[in-house]
Amino acid sequence: MSTLERNNLFSDIIDIECFVDNIPFPFITGIDFDHKVDAARVVKVFVGGIESTSLLRIGSNITIKVGTNETNHNLDFQGIITEINPSYNESSFTAFDLVTQLQSSEIVEYKRNDVIGEDLYMLASNACNYKDIDTSELVEGSGILATDDMDLTGLMTRRNFIDKCFRYLVDVRDDNFHKSVVALQWRYAIRRNNIMDFWLEDPTNLTTKPLMTVSDDSNFLIGAGVVANINSSTMVNSATYQSSKDSSLFVTVTDDDSVARHGVYGKLFKLSTSRRDRLEELAYQTVLLHKEPTLTYNIVMNGGEHITLGDYIEVSVPTLGKKEILPVVAVKHTFTDSVSSTITLGNPSLSIAQLIASQE
């Protein structure tokens, strides 16, 4: 067991147990947990010297247990070592959680008779039921059914199929729990150990209670504190969906209020369908999701290791004139001689490839 010092947190020390291929590995000097929605959690483990790296191999199973006077902690981790960096001063290795098994799975043939008309939630759940991933809690369902135009059939990895399902796992709500019509995105991640979770992001629900409130003068902030980013990288306030079967068939949906405030952000999408109502449905859904600029907050803080993906945090920034509840979409917890956390709220950041694709 490794004991890492903690400064000004809930207790004086934090206990971390690490096992590599079920053998205790007590050489840890620091750990970084890095996680984003719809992706694998990445753990980088630092160890003293070079001798302990002889116990490691690519593909080793790693288990990490974090003790903070709780039986189960959201930082508990099961994964696979993918990189080893030996060094005489300080060595390290990197492990990905079991989502990586979905990424590198055998190619699966998804047949039309097994897919079309089925609930996307359950299709994704079945695809996640692979090797050591626990899917026992994925029983909710979404009510969103697979259709031919979603491109869910053919040969692909399990992860590729899951990502295609989540592309269309969007729930449009117009009810008494929301001030206006909203489009809600389903997310997935292994948030603890090997347990796969699906959840619906719904921060504007009038019944949503935030885990905590953060403002510029919160005493647990460190470094730059609350850093906001507002950009137009994913904005679409005028969406045109065109049939790839008949180029003369297309539908455009525009949000006039967003256009008046931000200017026009139009984008063309092509879909393999001859149904005009389907084109209109997806154009409307796309505009609901993307008609406003992307708002992201990065919060650097002490005492945030209990925060995980899918939590809701209220952010109050008087200088921006904003106070709202936002979902946690990325976390980075760093354990060395102290513990610090970087929490990302709002929208997950785009990779360079995604950013380029969003501009095409």
pLDDT 10s per residue in the chain (360 long)? 444 443 333 334 577 889 999 999 988 889 999 999 999 999 999 998 788 888 999 999 999 998 755 556 889 999 999 999 998 888 999 999 999 999 999 999 999 999 999 999 999 999 999 999 999 999 999 999 999 999 999 999 999 999 999 999 999 999 999 999 999 999 999 999 999 999 999 999 999 999 999 988 889 999 888 888 889 988 999 999 999 999 999 999 999 999 999 999 999 999 999 999 999 999 999 999 999 998 899 999 998 988 999 999 999 876 666 788 999 999 999 988 778 999 999 987 654 344 334 444
Which sign does the torsion angle of CA 189, 233, 217, 339 carry? positive
Domains of the chain: which residue ranges?
2-97, 98-205, 236-290
> How far is residue 150's CA from residue 167's CA, in Å, rounded to a whole number?
9
Q: Can you give the pLDDT at residue 318?
A: 66
Closest listed residue to residue 176, CA positions, set 144, 205, 201:
205
> How far is residue 266's CA from residue 252's CA, in Å, rounded to a whole number?
9
Q: Which amino acid is at 341?
A: S
> How far is residue 267's CA from residue 111's CA, in Å, rounded to a whole number?
31
- For residue 212 the two structure tokens come to 């905590």
Q: Are 180 and 163 in contact (CB under 8 A)?
A: no
- For residue 12 the two structure tokens come to 């004086």
> How far is residue 329's CA from residue 349's CA, in Å, rounded to a whole number?
9
Indicate the DSSP class of residue 94.
Answer: E
Task: Give the HSE-up count for residue 206: Cα atoms under 13 Å, Cβ half-sphere.
Answer: 9
pTM of the entire predicted model: 0.90
- Across 132-202, the runs of DSSP E, i.e. the strands, are 154-156, 170-173, 182-192, 195-200
Indicate the DSSP class of residue 309.
Answer: T
> How far is residue 164's CA from residue 124's CA, in Å, rounded to a whole number?
9
Q: Which CATH superfamily is domain 2-97 in?
A: Baseplate protein-like domain - beta roll fold (2.30.300.10)
Q: Can you give the pLDDT at residue 271?
A: 94
Q: Which residue has the tokens 């917890």?
A: 333
Indicate the DSSP class of residue 38.
Answer: T
Q: Taking the CB of residue 139, how many other CB atoms lie within 10 A of it? A: 10
Q: Are 290 and 235 in contact (CB under 8 A)?
A: yes
The secondary structure element, H or E, covering residue 160 is helix 158-167
> How far is residue 297's CA from residue 230's CA, in Å, rounded to a whole number?
9
> How far is residue 156's CA from residue 124's CA, in Å, rounded to a whole number?
13
- For residue 223 the two structure tokens come to 């470094």
Task: Give the HSE-up count for residue 302: Cα atoms under 13 Å, Cβ half-sphere.
Answer: 15
